[in-house]
Amino acid sequence: MFRKAGIAALSAGLLLTAGATGVMAGGPPDWAGPPDWAGGPGGQPGNGNGNQKVENVIYMIPDGFNADYATNYRMYKGEEAVWDEHMKGMFTTYSADSSITDSAAAGTAMATGEKTDNGVIGLDPEGNELETILEASANEGMASGLVATSTITHATPASFASHVEDRNNETAIAQQLLAGEVDVLLGGGKNNFLPESEGGNQETDNLIAQARDQGYELVETQDALLDSKIDIEDGERLLGLFAGDALAPEMHRADTEEPSLAEMTESAIGSLAQDDDGFFLTVEGSQIDWAGHANDAAWAMQDTAAFEAAVEEAIEFAEEDGETLVVVGGDHETGGMTAGAGENPDMNVNPSVLKDVTATGDHMAAELNDDRSNVNEVIETYTDFELSESEAQTIQEADDAALAINTIISDRALIGWTSTNHTAVDIPVYAYGPQADKFTGYLDNTDLPKIMAEALDVELGE
């Protein structure tokens, strides 16, 4: 694969740990049936019961998602999610300096195999640079990509291709993403690539002009993304910046010219798959986490649905390709979501009512007039709920109208929340493809990139 010179390997002193070796399935010749990892006597499709070398990895991160989100989403959808049959294990998420991680420390652990302090990206607690699994893959000639519904410079995507002491330094992160020559970058955050003279956040640098000089094609709308065609083997790259800041929440995306997460994922895979040396792609469903912070159950479920559509694109490609490992795992849980809330004498959960909610709590709160006398009209416009007198009064008198709206909607769905921040609970990991079985059991978030590196046969931390 053509790559410009100057990508330096980073040294982190990371030791690879070997995963359990699977049993090769017997049966007909290779050409006569499914890949050797697809199962054998007693095996299930996608269980990864083989030791076949992986050519591509698609790392799907639903930020803020855990088993309670999965449970509520299954009931919201009315059937199993695409990842349910590929459940493998659980992993811990604590950071180097706290039992509850933030996305920077969690992303760093999931990208490098090393713990760091909250707020830090791509550096260990002493400030030493850590090589990421994406960088290690690129150093072996593989193509690389990052996709997110946040700014592409936000903590989780940034953790795979940048190294900064403060996650909020998104202008420095933008510079490093281009310096690292990530082949496909799709998300929000155009302002972080433009100079202040053009309304951006860079002091003087125009990173979009720099990106064009480096062979990036810039796309800024859904239509432009769907029409884009780049030749990875010829050194062409793709930069999609679809909003000045983050993309719109899923339930408001149709009112914009922004692509869906599934469309970005499909486009990224289509571009990266041209590389004969394989590819490493990270895809983040960023706003599941933001919905958790807001205790907005409808936003959480609808952005989870958007993330599932993206996972379906990844697994469909993996099924056809036969040499692609798809790994799905959140970086932490957000909001302390529960499946069931309140006294609940009927012992029931009813998240399906959230399908009729068409706006986030933040959006509804912004529609309230100064004295909030239109609260009933606003709620009836964006939900099928008729507020009781006490519920309307609660919203009218609340210090935080959005949180009050979200609490009432969550109560209708019998979904509870214990926090407006992250929690320390363990996170499920799902995997499909060759060597997927190596994610089985009780793991730590630092184990995930080590297993991926072993599956790809690349050295991580050299």
Concatenating the DSSP letter of every residue in 47-107 gives: ---S-PPPSEEEEEEETB--HHHHHHHHHHHTS--TTGGGEEEEEE---SS-SS--HHHHH
In three-state secondary structure terms, 217 is strand
**Amino acid in position 66:** N
Residue 214, pLDDT score? 96
pTM over cut 0.75: yes
Q: How many residues are recorded in the chain?
A: 462
Provide the pLDDT for residue 48. 60
Among the options 98, 99, 103, 373, which is catalytic?
103
Q: Is 103 a catalytic residue?
A: yes
CB 229 within 8 A of CB 338: no
Tell me the two tokens of residue 381.
């416009």
Q: Do 360 and 252 form a contact (C-beta atoms < 8 A)?
A: yes
Which residues, 6 or more positions from 320, have their beta carbon under 8 angstroms from its beta carbon?
none
At 418, is the secondary structure helix, strand, or coil? coil
What are the tokens at 209? 């002009």
Place of tokens 């909607």: 409
Beta bridge partners of 61: 284
Q: What's the Rg (C-alpha) of the chain? A: 22
Q: Is the dihedral of CA 150, 156, 161, 167 positive or negative?
A: positive
Could you report the per-residue pLDDT of 66-114, keeping only the tens digit for each? Answer: 999 999 999 999 999 999 999 999 999 999 999 999 999 999 999 999 9
What does the pLDDT look like over 401-423, one tens digit per residue?
999 999 999 999 999 999 999 99
pLDDT for position 41: 32
Which segments in the chain show pLDDT lower than 50? 1-37, 39-45
Q: Indicate the burial class of 67 (C-beta count within 10 angstroms; 0-12, 13-18, 19 or more).
A: middle
pLDDT for 342 equals 85
State residue 3's pLDDT score.
39
Secondary element (H or E) of residue 285: strand 279-285
Question: For residue 370, what pLDDT is reported?
Answer: 96
